[in-house]
Amino acid sequence: MENIEQQIIACAHRLFVEKGYVNTSMSDIAAAVGITRPAMHYYFRTKERLFQVIFGDIVQEVIPRIHGILASDTPFMERLDRIVGEYLAMFLKNPDLPYFLLSEIQRDTGHLIQVARELKIDGYIADIRKTVEREIETGRMRNVPLRVIFLTLYSLMVTPFLMKNLTTTLMLESEERFADFMQEWKRNILSQMGHLLCPDDGSGNDHIALGHDVRQFLHRVPFLNRFQDVGVEQFGGFLPCLAEIFVRQIIEDFPHGIDVFHRNTFELSHA
């Protein structure tokens, strides 16, 4: 019985990711498992219940570890390092998860929030808020709005997975694996969050470090090598042009132009 239940959960998870929650029926899931719909109802009466179980399994796998990290008595950036590591490990294990969650947020934000409340995630969010407020009050962190911290951190963690095909096609070196690239990207996440959150010590090292980070990025992408000599003081004017240069070069280099860009950006890789 337990084996069939786990099969139902696994098949439902796969179909929710491939087709979306709305476009997946209980009959689709039953057919994928190889059982009848009445048999399916013996285990799960509704599709909503299935969604809660799947989302709950994912959240409850990582939340206890995140809570433990937040409760530890270590510097905030060390805790952030471990938290980012937990999230990236979860996304590498479930590379379709960011796209699935983003799709559900766009489809019905209220539904996802309701499921999160039923799973008691609101208590987890409250703990994060308290931790951040405490770090700000003690002066160990800049007074940055929580929404800015949230959007910046999750954008940095999720974007490479949403653009996995494009990243793999254009930015990975020969024989380099996506997982190895993500370990390098993790350092970038922590660097950018450090620039955002850590108080400036007045040494100017933050400014120099930012210049180093940008040069490292330019070095990785061959068609941007021409910009290696851009000075730190010019980054403010340079960065707004980067996206346009990037897209134009893709259109120029690939025979199918923007179609390739679109496909590589939005199709998920199951490799």
Q: Is 99 exposed, middle or buried (0-12, 13-18, 19+ CB in 10 A)?
A: middle
Neighbours of 130 (CB within 10 A): 11
Residues 6+ apart with CB under 8 A from 57: 9
The answer, yes or no, to whether residue 222 has pLDDT greater than 70, is no
213-237: b or e for each residue (b if 16 or more CB lie within 10 Å)? bbbeebeeeeebeebeebeeeebee
Residue 28: pLDDT band by 50, 70, 90 thresholds? very high
Q: Binning pLDDT at 50, 70 and 90, where does residue 261 land?
A: very low
Reading the block at residue 75, the tokens are 């510097």
Among the listed ranges 5-9, 64-68, 119-123, 174-178, which one has the minimum average pLDDT value? 119-123
Residue appearing with tokens 């799709």: 103
Look at residues 142, 107, 140 and name the one whose alpha carbon lies nearest to residue 17: 107
- State the average pLDDT for the chain: 76
Q: Say whether pLDDT at 214 is over 90.
A: no
31 and 113 in contact (C-beta within 8 Å)? no
Residue 260 — pLDDT band, cuts 50, 70, 90? Answer: very low
- pLDDT of 8 > 70? The answer is yes
Q: How large a percentage of the chain has pLDDT more than 90? A: 28
The pLDDT of residue 48: 86
Q: What was the pLDDT predicted at 123?
A: 78
Kindly give the residue spans of alpha helices, DSSP state H, lying in the chain: 2-19, 26-33, 37-43, 47-71, 76-93, 97-107, 109-118, 121-137, 146-162, 164-170, 178-197, 205-220, 235-253, 258-266
Give pTM, 2 decimals.
0.68
pLDDT at residue 251, rounded to an integer: 46
Q: List pLDDT tens digits, range 73-102.
A: 888 889 999 999 999 999 998 888 888 888
Residue 153 pLDDT > 70, yes or no? yes
How much is the pLDDT for 201? 59
Give 64 or 45, the one with higher predicted confidence: 45
- The pLDDT assigned to 219 comes to 54
